Chain A
């Protein structure tokens, strides 16, 4: 290695690791925001979607030996169906849906999914092969896994798809309309219940993608959902609840801070760092760094 500046390489290495983890938080946070915008609730089963995605992908690729692309599509569809079922069976039938009731339901669903995942996939952690080579690449002295590049690319693709969907398609505009002003949307003939279902489907889909792409790196087991969900929630709050572009930046920022903290302070405190940031945001600026405090006052939760 002909680089002499070791500290710079360290920083670069932590940055890669941070962005990689942060991308996952960003995706989880986007999922939180979709459901939040459609229903005003936080779906605490969001982390479970990630786990389901990861574990399903493991089964399809490792046990059934399907190709990565085919398994990817099947897994996303499977988790989206799980999301739709969750909405139809547990959210839609609630007679008088208050925010608190719905949130408690999502916690119950997360426990159920976690239990089911344990019964089905067992307690061990599951290994999955990388999308392409698992050999690290050298990048100015730091190393980066090809899988990490896949993660960056997929996050980028998701953000572009997100912007196109919500700004240029009628269905996306209808979903935004429901989030902005539900009564006005219903008076325009938009079925808000259908939009809620769709938000669960899309949010489950994003969760599944996050789970699929991170599994080769972290190895998935059934308990991962809670922590991934919590950190994604931290990113969503940091970015301003409901603001998905804010969530992407906040997610990556959170990942970087976490990686720097782990590198320079102690890796034991890695999980604590995200939570301390979440607490600080809630104490100092509950509307998040990208959220407007005016909008926050109007929100129920």
Chain B
């Protein structure tokens, strides 16, 4: 479904992604592990068109999308939930969802947008309760739910999730990951998930990549990654002794 071929990306003069090649198949949850600054967020920003590709190609459904604008990619079915809960804080929850469904409004009109928002409310009942509240006044978990709900409003085929668990309480993290797994099962949604919380991510993922300083160093099934010595040491926080003895 999504394929990156030798993608290179720069912030100014700094080479961030170095020949990154990866793929995500239809219906999969794929996760990407890596330390801070390894290039995980840049990978997602490159896929969604926020970050320009310097060399290499990106394909979506076998169609080349290298260099397409984010607006175009959203309409093709790629939704990106950026890290840090990028919602419109001074606007109401309802307005946020409306904006998330901007393309629905543009193509199908106001009525359809309303029905879509009602469907989203069915999926996230807490947002319905909070519909008139300013988005900035929601709790962290609710804001993350809203960010995901906004992305879903554009009826995506592929969801790019950037650290949905960042700064949230463990119980809420559990909720959010259950929600992601449910979305994949119910809506046949394909998910590319970036997480610091490698344990939680690997539990729901089918496959995973490990990225280090802008290079993909490992690709494995999620189950195998969980038992991989190196991954355990670096990302799962198992004790050193356990591995070395």
Interface of A toward B, CB cutoff 8 Å:
170, 173-174, 176-177, 180-181, 183-191
Contacts and interface: CB of A to CB of B under 8 A. Distances in A.
Given A173-B95, A177-B91, A181-B88, A188 B50 contact: no
Interface residues of B, number: 30
Contacts of A189: 70-71, 74-75, 102-103, 106, 154
B71 A191 contact: yes
B138 to A, nearest CB: 15
A166 B90 CA distance: 13
B165 interface: no
Contacts of B91: 173, 176-177, 180
Interface in B54-102: 69-71, 74-75, 79-80, 82, 86-91, 95, 98-102
B150 A186 contact: no
Given A190-B71, A191-B69, 17 more contacts: A170-B98, A170-B105, A173-B91, A173-B95, A174-B102, A176-B91, A180-B88, A181-B87, A183-B50, A184-B82, A186-B69, A187-B50, A187-B79, A189-B71, A189-B103, A189-B154, A190-B99
Contacts, number: 67
Interface of B: 48, 50, 69-71, 74-75, 79-80, 82, 86-91, 95, 98-103, 105-106, 110, 150-151, 153-154
A36 to B, nearest CB: 16
A187 B153 CA distance: 11
B102 A188 contact: yes
B98 A173 contact: yes
Contacts of A170: 98, 102, 105, 110
A202 to B, nearest CB: 19
A5 B102 CA distance: 60
A197 B50 CA distance: 20
B230 to A, nearest CB: 34
Contacts of A186: 50, 69-71
A173 B99 contact: yes
Given A180-B91, A183-B50, A188 B99 contact: yes
B151 A190 contact: no
Contact of A187 (B70, B89, B101, B105): B70
7 contacts: A180-B90, A187-B86, A187-B151, A188-B74, A188-B100, A189-B71, A191-B69
A185 B50 contact: no
A241 to B, nearest CB: 15
Interface of A is mostly: helix
A189 B195 CA distance: 25
Nearest to B151: A187
Q: Which of A181, A185, A188 has the most CB of B within 10 A?
A: A188
A7 B79 CA distance: 66
Contacts of A174: 99, 102
A187 B74 contact: yes
A50 to B, nearest CB: 29
A185 B69 CA distance: 12
B34 to A, nearest CB: 21
Q: Which of B89, B90, B91, B99 has the most CB of A within 10 A?
A: B99
Contact of A184 (B86, B95, B105, B154): B86
A177 B88 contact: yes
Given A186-B70, A187-B79, A188-B154, A180 B89 contact: yes
Contacts of A184: 82, 86-88
Contacts of B80: 187
Contacts of A185: 88, 99
A178 to B, nearest CB: 10
